Amino acid sequence: MTLFSSAGPEWIAPGACILRDFASPYERLLWQDLQAIVRQAPWRHMQTPGGQAIAVSMSNCGRLGWVSDRGGYRYQMEDPLSGIPWPVMPASFESLAIAAAAQAGFVQFRPDACLLNRYEAGTKLGLHQDKDEQDFSQPIVSVSLGLPATFLFGGLKRSDPVLRTELYHGDVVVWGGPDRLRYHGILPLKPGWHPLTGKLRINLTFRVAG
Ligand code: MD3
Ligand code: FE
């Protein structure tokens, strides 16, 4: 028994907790399964409804995938690039997300969507809310792989103060309850090299979308 045990959730808000290194034991399997997904549904820069390219490249797996184009933001069953269903969510992804949510108290969480985000040096994600899902009582689970990033954690209004916390390889975060609709974003990725992902940061976000 160690005094400074790192086990267990680190609560950064009443409904938001970081499970440090929770995904690290599965990194090889996650990476292998991710490669298979992006062979079927390649990384792409989606367009905002206003016609700007989104800096983060994205793909999806699971029954529903998040898409953005001139028609708006939505979840849909088909990859718009191929017209066929998104790749099936691998058991490795699904079981990790379910186990993490349960650690945070969301024992009923069964994601139907997983958005894959790919960051290169300099890529940022502006402050936004995730509100394209049907049921905000369901949490979002995020898994960080590869290079570290500075996560911005705001409030329920865009103008609220923003906290910063670093997310490292293997960290899993569960966002639920009162924190589900907080504004959040990622500062520009610092260049670097990670043994698993090379010059990239990858984030997986698991959602109950439909
Ligand atoms: C807090 N992704 O995909 S994950 C996103 O690292 C997104 O790629 C970021 O924001 C990334 O929408 C951040 C952490 C995260 C995800 C969803 C949240 C934090 C959240 C929803 C509500 C509050
Ligand atoms: Fe988000």
Q: What pLDDT band is residue 5 in, cutting at 50, 70 and 90?
A: low
Q: What 3-state class would DSSP assign to 3? A: coil
Structural domains of the chain sorted by starting position, each given as residue range(s) with its CATH number in brackets: 12-40+91-207 (2.60.120.590)
pLDDT in tens, 134-148: 999 999 999 999 999
Q: What pLDDT band is residue 98 in, cutting at 50, 70 and 90?
A: very high
What is the mean predicted confidence (pLDDT) over 42-54?
A: 97
What amino acid occupies position 97?
Answer: A
For the CA of 180, the nearest atom of ligand 1: 22
The per-residue pLDDT for 2 is 55
Q: To test the ligand 1 pocket, which listed residue (19, 140, 156) has its Cβ within 8 A of the most ligand atoms?
A: 140
Q: To test the ligand 1 pocket, which listed residue (109, 124, 130) has its Cβ within 8 A of the most ligand atoms?
A: 130
pLDDT in tens, 10-37: 999 999 999 999 999 999 999 999 999 9
Phi first, then psi: give them for residue 71, nearest 5 degrees: -80, -10
For the cut 90, the answer to whether the pLDDT of residue 6 exceeds it is: no
For the cut 90, the answer to whether the pLDDT of residue 192 exceeds it is: yes
Report the nearest-CA residue for atom 6 of ligand 1.
203
Decide whether any atom of ligand 1 lies within 6 Å of the 125 Cβ. yes
Smallest-distance ligand from the CA of 115: 1
The per-residue pLDDT for 8 is 82
Decide whether any atom of ligand 1 lies within 6 Å of the 89 Cβ. no
For the cut 80, the answer to whether the pLDDT of residue 120 exceeds it is: yes
Give the HSE-up count for residue 1: Cα atoms under 13 Å, Cβ half-sphere: 0
The per-residue pLDDT for 42 is 98
What's CA 106's distance to the chain center, in Å? 17
For the CA of 181, the nearest atom of ligand 1: 22
What amino acid occupies position 109?
Answer: F
